[in-house]
Amino acid sequence: MKLGIILVKSPLGSRKVETVLQTASLALKKGNSVDLFLISDGVWLSKIQDKEIKALLREIRNGGNIYVCGASAQARGITEETLEGFVLSEDSYGDLVDLVMEKWDKVVVC
């Protein structure tokens, strides 16, 4: 199964994002592929320094892609040069629609 997770919420001040990433990790361990799409305040996940969350992100990158909405990143001053290991989506909404309609079997929004 191909799982897509659309992360809209900021990873700061909540354990929800960590729970979503742990779920993604478990899905990978069961043989599924997992992609993340960071949009709106979810793009802040690309800047997080927490060791546990960074380890989960590495696992996800090894089993899929982590896309970052270009417009959301730009609005928050996040540049492509600082997005090591993440895929910057220039046509964010077009790319997101393509992923939802053509690549992913299941989608979770958080």
User: What digits encode the pLDDT tens for the residues 46-105?
Assistant: 998 889 899 999 999 998 999 999 999 999 999 888 888 899 998 989 999 999 999 999
Q: Where are the domains of the chain?
A: 2-109
Q: What is the pLDDT of residue 80?
A: 85
Q: What is the pLDDT of residue 69?
A: 96
Band (39; pLDDT cuts 50, 70, 90)? very high
Asked whether the CA dihedral 86, 110, 60, 37 is positive or negative, the reply is negative
Q: Are 104 and 2 in contact (CB under 8 A)?
A: yes
Q: What is the pLDDT of residue 83?
A: 87
Place of tokens 């809209």: 8
Q: Are 64 and 43 in contact (CB under 8 A)?
A: no
Q: What is the pLDDT of residue 44?
A: 94
CATH topology classification for 2-109: Hypothetical Protein Ychn; Chain: A, (3.40.1260)
Distance CA 96, CA 71 (A): 13
What's the predicted TM-score (pTM) here? Answer: 0.92
E runs forming strands in the chain: 2-7, 33-38, 66-69, 87-89, 106-109
Place of tokens 């802040």: 44
Written as six digits, the tokens of 25 are 């990790």
Distance CA 1, CA 71 (A): 29
Band (29; pLDDT cuts 50, 70, 90)? very high
Longest dimension (CA), the chain: 36
